[in-house]
Amino acid sequence: MSAVEPILRDPGSFRDPKGHVFSRGKEILRTVHLAGVEGYERARDNGLIEALQSSGLLIDTEEIDPRAARTYGFRAEYVLRHARLPFISYPYEWSFHALKDAALLHLDVILTCLDHEVALSDASANNIQFDGHRPLFIDVLSFQTYTEGDPWLGYRQFCEQFLNPLLLAACFGISHHAWYRGSFDGIATADIARLLRLRDRFNLRILSHVLLQAKLQRRSHKDPAAAGAAARKVRLSRHGYRAIVSRLRDWIAGLTPAGDAKTAWADYACSHSYAEGEYTAKQTAVAAFCRPLRPKMLWDIGCNSGDFTATALTSGAQFAVGFDADPIALGKAYARAKNDRLNFVPLYQDLANPSPSQGWNQQERRGIADRRCADAILALAIVHHLAIGRNVPLPDVARWLVELAPNGIIEFVPKSDPMVQVMLAARDDIFDSYTEEAFAQALQSRATIIDRQQISATGRMLFTYTRR
């Protein structure tokens, strides 16, 4: 490792007095301060950390020798080294089923902790990250000593950051993404309670985890001192603690989005607007693009159900992040990643309004622009959605795509294509400059066009570029 590589503290790691996260080159390091020593030592010495890692629940973690740790210049009781994940994402970007899997993993961590006389101090959804299709718990400083009778400290946070966003989709068919992104701490139980219909109120689980909790929270707002005193008197047996967590896990495991129906683009992979031979040509082009390049990180812009992402990964791409704004298509992409065990993280993004930088000083949660890390992109059948569907000038679309990665394939769909005709059917055609040549010129202003291939009778073109 180069001696000049700087040690950088993660700008989102500042709230916890128990320790902080740093990066140095390819290393991810975590300091353990005095406030975090007891919990960390408890989890380490009684085998919890080893048990969680062996069961695939916890990110790979190792303790650095104190003498070596001093070379980093940290003032800490311990320094830990974690595996570096290829990409960091946030709960408001996960599909329904990814969020559900993250919730189930968090509950499994709690149950394992109870077996080792340990509890979790919080239930932040940001304590979980995805390594491809696998969720992993990442915050070893959440561990603290469990004593018989202790309440579940993170219960309210779990409901707001896991359960309530899932119920929004399961009960009402409303995607959690926009609401969750706009509410930094999750979706308030009181807000979910206001949405409930009469039939929902007779569901015992909703009564317990939503209506009763909303009522208790209203009381705490009226008399915080009395509510705090009452909370301190609460005693929860280990058996009761485990029963609550286990029943909640069973409920969440059975949740599915309400009214899952076809959307405009969700069945794109099964009902193409061009012939099967043209679809095969597209697959062939993606494979030919990836084999010599073997990108370490591929971004699939408009990944839909992940057909072409999977082709890229079986043709040399090492890891892929996909972006799509259709929740159902995104769910299919996540299912594909799980079923085929792909190094693929499909995430929700409105490409014309992507995730911004958020939190304290706008640095706790990094926006998409600040997470650019792709060696290559696929941008198949997305240009017309931005240029015509969202009125983004064609040169701006080309410039933005080229800035995402130094290499890529971009599909241009002409106005004569049936899919574009559907988009133009209900609006005036004000897009005189939307032509293949105009797109080629815009692309050439930033990149060299390596290949240009027509793949459909309607004139769909694949442009392969390398950035200058």
* Pairwise CA distance, residues 29 & 308, whole Å: 35
Give the per-residue pLDDT at 232.
Answer: 65
Cα–Cα distances in angstroms (integers) from residue 320 to residues 57, 188, 308, 432, in the given order: 22, 33, 11, 35
Give the per-residue pLDDT at 151.
Answer: 93
Beta strand extents in 43-156 (DSSP E only): 61-63, 78-82, 118-120, 128-131, 134-137, 143-145
Cα–Cα distances in angstroms (integers) from residue 454 to residues 39, 105, 243, in the given order: 61, 46, 60
So where are the chain's domains? 8-82, 91-253, 276-467
Amino acid at 223: D
**φ, ψ dihedrals at 326, nearest 5°:** -100, 110
* Pairwise CA distance, residues 404 & 446, whole Å: 12
Secondary structure of 208-255 in HEC code, one letter for each residue: HHHHHHHHHHHHHHHCHHHHHHHHHHCCECHHHHHHHHHHHHHHHHCC
- Among 3.40.50.300, 3.40.50.150, 3.20.20.70, 3.50.50.100, name the CATH number for the domain at 276-467: 3.40.50.150
pLDDT tens digits in sequence order for the chain, 468 residues long: 445 578 889 999 999 999 999 998 889 999 999 999 999 999 999 999 999 999 999 999 999 987 777 777 888 999 999 999 999 999 999 999 999 999 999 999 999 999 999 999 999 999 999 999 999 999 999 999 999 999 999 999 999 999 999 999 999 999 999 999 999 899 999 999 999 998 888 899 999 999 999 988 888 777 777 656 666 677 899 999 999 999 999 999 999 999 765 554 455 444 444 456 788 999 999 999 999 999 999 999 999 999 999 999 999 999 999 999 999 999 999 999 999 999 999 999 999 999 999 999 999 999 999 999 999 999 999 999 999 999 999 999 999 999 999 999 999 999 999 999 999 998 899 999 999 999 999 999 999 999 999 999 999 999 999 999
* Pairwise CA distance, residues 198 & 176, whole Å: 22
Token reading at 3: 């001696």
Structural element, H or E, at residue 454: strand 447-454
Give the per-residue pLDDT at 90.
Answer: 98
Q: How many CB atoms lie within 10 A of CB 312?
A: 29
Q: Is 378 helix (H, G, I), strand (E, B) or coil?
A: strand
DSSP symbol at 358: B
Give the per-residue pLDDT at 229.
Answer: 62
